[in-house]
Amino acid sequence: MNIAELFAKGGPVVWILAAYSSVGLAIVLERNILFLRLRQLPRAWLSRLDRLLDHADASQLVADLKGPEARLIQAVVQANSEGVKDLHGVGQRVRAQETQRMEFGLRTLGILGNTAPLLGLLGTITGMIKAFMVIEQAGGKVDAQALAGGIWEAMITTGVGLAVAIPLLILLHFLEGGVERRAQKMNQCLSLLLERRSQGVANKEESEQQHTWEQITDGV
């Protein structure tokens, strides 16, 4: 069976599944191009992030960096220079924005992959209904060969639906994995940026509590 016969015997459902396949392929290609264009943070920077906020010219140091991790670092450095206290909140906000940008289209891809088999099954069920309606109208006197031909034609849509869904779901899995890895790397960068800052805040609070306790117990 060639492509023309497949579309002719499968009916409108096969055309819809072909549109599913085209849209899904377009999303996969667009996302792959985006991921290839997203630059990785140089490995040398990971060892410098813990002391980056101590530099007076930190904004200039990170100005030329590109990519999701770089935008997170630049946002935190900018917020620190402006005196923002909740740097972790700033980092989480930028991380969420970058993750949402990378996930664009993946929900649509998931919907296409999950509904393609159901659409194919719907086409098979409607085809089977028509076949049995013909049997009823013929009073049960139907050639077995003709009946078999009607049934396999009805099952074409289920096969096409599965053929569309399986690759889309596999590709979706790989794309989601790529997004998750970049999100984890952004978390790592944020943790390295704020590690020493958090330790300094904790030591300061501990010192203030100890000093307050000494004042309370001074006269005892």
Other Cβ atoms less than 10 A from the Cβ of 157: the count is 27
Residue-level pLDDT at 205 = 44
Distant-in-sequence, close-in-space partners of 114: CB < 8 Å, separation ≥ 6:
165, 169
Residue-level pLDDT at 206 = 45
Yes or no: say if 124 and 158 are a contact pair by the CB < 8 Å rule: yes
Write the CA distances from 206 to 54, 84, 200, 213, integer angstroms: 22, 22, 10, 11
Q: Look up residue 18 and give its two tokens.
A: 């072909």
Write the CA distances from 98 to 77, 103, 204, integer angstroms: 17, 9, 33
Residue-level pLDDT at 140 = 60
Residue-level pLDDT at 33 = 93
Write the CA distances from 199 to 49, 79, 208, integer angstroms: 15, 19, 14
Residue-level pLDDT at 146 = 59
Positions in the chain short of pLDDT 70: 1, 5-7, 138-150, 197-220
Residue 9 phi, psi (nearest 5): -85, -30
User: Coil, helix or strand for 61?
Assistant: helix
Instruction: Report how far residue 125's alpha carbon sits from residue 144's, in angstroms, rounded to the nearest whole number.
Output: 19
